[in-house]
């Protein structure tokens, strides 16, 4: 009989929570369109609004400020636009400043022209260069419109937590807008939209144990909002047309409620497990590099490199040993290419790097199987170099 596999890729997708599964199946079996005024339609609408309240509460936001989307990528493309409105008046954004370590969904610049996107460099520890960001913002041409800055709260590859509060002070000092991708941080660190002083947060359902196919753009208020990306029936107050994915949204709301109530205990447990994993990895292979380890990181993420091990080869090797992990972002149609995050940190983007990301149901057996696979792979590399 095959041994159980070890799932160590929670940053790609967290396993579906039982509570979220129940909500997804229950609402998915309900009749009615949430825009219909009859009883069935109102029942579906009530499920969506209940989920909106739960997501808002988990983030310290108001329900009215949560716009549901099909996921974080759509939310990013919705908010990253030069066209905004302040109430009924148009508001022009002149330039987008993105950190060099952003997820591809943000790094591509959304609806901005390529010429209007500037990249803010990162430092060797994987954090954004605040001094360079300050210089770029102070040199911004206000006649073109306001500056917008996109900075993730925690990097999806390294897990490094970014100095968002400090960045917010710089951005708001020049009247700019700060958009924060909180996809990886949500559910793994305590998160409140007011505490981090951002204008917009991007979150995703399937990263916290909710169903795939739902995400949200969360604003600090309704006064300033981006021009709609998807036009049609005017759902989500006109911000995102199209019949809502009620089943996925309901599961998203339940997942948000669950993780918000357990975030501190979950973080402590994951941090302890990560510490044990990394110590054992260093004992097994002293040459292993734990990337981003000199900065504050998510409690569940280990991004490592073994000299001589390519990313794609490493993924396959671990998979054959019954361990699921990744080479970083899992949003590139299965492709394993050079890491722009490694390049931004001043490392060779061609170097092999793999990501272990754990969660609350990661077991001792999962960890032992992963470390056994690591030892076997590291041993083969050592033997090949000695031959």
pLDDT, tens digit, 9 for 90 and up, residues 344-382:
999 887 788 999 999 999 999 999 999 999 999 999 998
pLDDT category, 2, cuts 50, 70, 90? low
Co-location of 64 and 38 in the same domain? yes
Strand pairing report for 301-305 and 146-150:
unpaired
Tell me what the mean pLDDT of segment 53-82 comes to: 98
Kindly state whether residue 311 falls inside one of the protein's structural domains: yes
Q: Mean of the per-residue pLDDT values for the chain? A: 94
pLDDT category, 338, cuts 50, 70, 90? confident
Q: Can you give the residue range of the structural domain that contains 72?
A: 19-257
Q: Token pair for residue 142?
A: 């206000």
Q: Which of 257, 289, 312 is the last residue of a domain?
A: 257
How far, CA to CA in Å, does 204 sit from each of 44, 212, 214? 21, 8, 6
Q: What is the pLDDT of residue 4?
A: 85
Is pLDDT above 90 for 328? no
Model pLDDT for residues 73-99, shown as the tens digit of each residue? 999 999 999 999 998 899 999 999 999
Helices (H), the chain: 18-28, 39-59, 72-79, 104-107, 130-138, 164-173, 246-284, 311-320, 340-344, 364-386
320 is catalytic: no
pLDDT category, 211, cuts 50, 70, 90? very high
Kindly state whether residue 303 falls inside one of the protein's structural domains: yes
Q: What's the rounded Cα separation, in Å, for the pair 14 and 360?
A: 10
Tell me what the mean pLDDT of segment 111-139 comes to: 97
What percent of the chain clears pLDDT 90, i.e. is strictly above it? 88
Comparing 54 with 308, the larger pLDDT belongs to: 54
The residue with tokens 């409140």 is 192
Tell me what the mean pLDDT of segment 26-32 comes to: 97
Query: Active-site residue among 331, 347, 372, 375?
Result: 331
Kindly state whether residue 143 falls inside one of the protein's structural domains: yes
Q: What is the pLDDT of residue 329?
A: 57
pLDDT category, 333, cuts 50, 70, 90? very low
Kindly state whether residue 321 falls inside one of the protein's structural domains: yes
Is pLDDT above 80 for 280? yes
Kindly state whether residue 113 falls inside one of the protein's structural domains: yes
Co-location of 251 and 271 in the same domain? no
Model pLDDT for residues 223-270, shown as the tens digit of each residue? 999 999 999 999 999 999 999 999 999 999 999 999 998 888 889 999
Co-location of 115 and 62 in the same domain? yes
Q: Which of 220, 238, 257 is the last residue of a domain?
A: 257
Q: What is the pLDDT of residue 1?
A: 42
Query: What is the CATH number for 85?
Result: 3.40.640.10
Co-location of 302 and 245 in the same domain? no
Strand pairing report for 323-324 and 6-7:
parallel
User: In 3D, which of 265, 292, 274, 273 has the Cα closest to residue 190?
Assistant: 265
Q: What is the pLDDT of residue 73?
A: 98
pTM: 0.94
Q: What's the rounded Cα separation, in Å, for the pair 382 and 387?
A: 9
Q: What is the pLDDT of residue 354?
A: 96
* HSE toward the beta carbon, residue 29, CA cutoff 13 A: 5
Co-location of 154 and 303 in the same domain? no
Tell me what the mean pLDDT of segment 118-143 comes to: 97
Co-location of 268 and 201 in the same domain? no
Tell me what the mean pLDDT of segment 120-129 comes to: 97
Q: What's the rounded Cα separation, in Å, for the pair 66 and 168?
A: 20
């Amino acid at each position: 009989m095959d041994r159980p596999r070890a799932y160590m890729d929670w940053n790609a997708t967290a396993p579906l929570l039982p509570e979220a599964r129940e909500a997804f199946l229950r609402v998915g079996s309900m009749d009615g369109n949430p825009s219909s005024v009859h009883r069935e339609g109102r029942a579906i609408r009530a499920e969506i609004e209940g989920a909106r309240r739960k997501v808002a509460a988990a983030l310290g936001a108001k329900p009215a400020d949560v716009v549901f989307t099909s996921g974080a990528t759509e939310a990013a493309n919705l908010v990253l636009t030069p066209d905004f409105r302040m109430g009924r008046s148009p508001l022009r954004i002149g330039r987008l400043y993105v950190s060099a370590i952003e997820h591809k969904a943000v790094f591509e610049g959304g609806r901005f022209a390529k010429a209007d996107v500037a990249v803010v460099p990162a430092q060797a520890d994987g954090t954004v260069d605040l001094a360079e960001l300050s210089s770029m913002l102070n040199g911004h041409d206000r006649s073109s419109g306001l500056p917008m800055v996109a900075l993730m709260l925690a990097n999806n590859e390294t897990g490094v937590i970014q100095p968002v509060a400090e960045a917010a002070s710089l951005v708001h000092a020049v009247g700019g807008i700060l958009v924060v991708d909180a996809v990886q941080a949500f559910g793994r660190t305590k998160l409140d939209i007011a505490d981090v002083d951002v204008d917009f947060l991007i979150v995703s359902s399937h990263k916290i144990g909710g169903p795939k196919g739902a995400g949200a753009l969360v604003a600090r208020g309704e006064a300033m909002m981006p021009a709609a990306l998807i036009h049609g029936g005017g759902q989500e107050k006109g911000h995102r047309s199209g019949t809502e994915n009620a089943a996925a949204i309901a599961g998203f709301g339940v997942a948000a409620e669950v993780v918000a109530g357990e975030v501190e205990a979950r973080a402590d447990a994951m941090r302890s497990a990560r510490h044990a994993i990394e110590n054992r990895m260093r004992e097994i292979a002293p040459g292993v590099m734990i990337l981003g380890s000199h900065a504050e990181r998510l409690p569940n993420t280990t991004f490592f490199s073994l000299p001589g091990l390519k990313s794609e080869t490493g993924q396959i090797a671990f998979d054959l040993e019954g361990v699921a992990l990744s080479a970083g972002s899992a949003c590139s149609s299965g492709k394993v290419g050079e890491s722009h995050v490694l390049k931004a940190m001043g490392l060779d983007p061609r170097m092999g790097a793999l990501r272990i990301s754990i969660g609350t149901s990661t077991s001792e057996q999962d960890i032992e199987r992963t470390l056994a696979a690591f030892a076997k792979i590291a041993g083969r590399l050592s033997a090949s170099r000695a031959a």
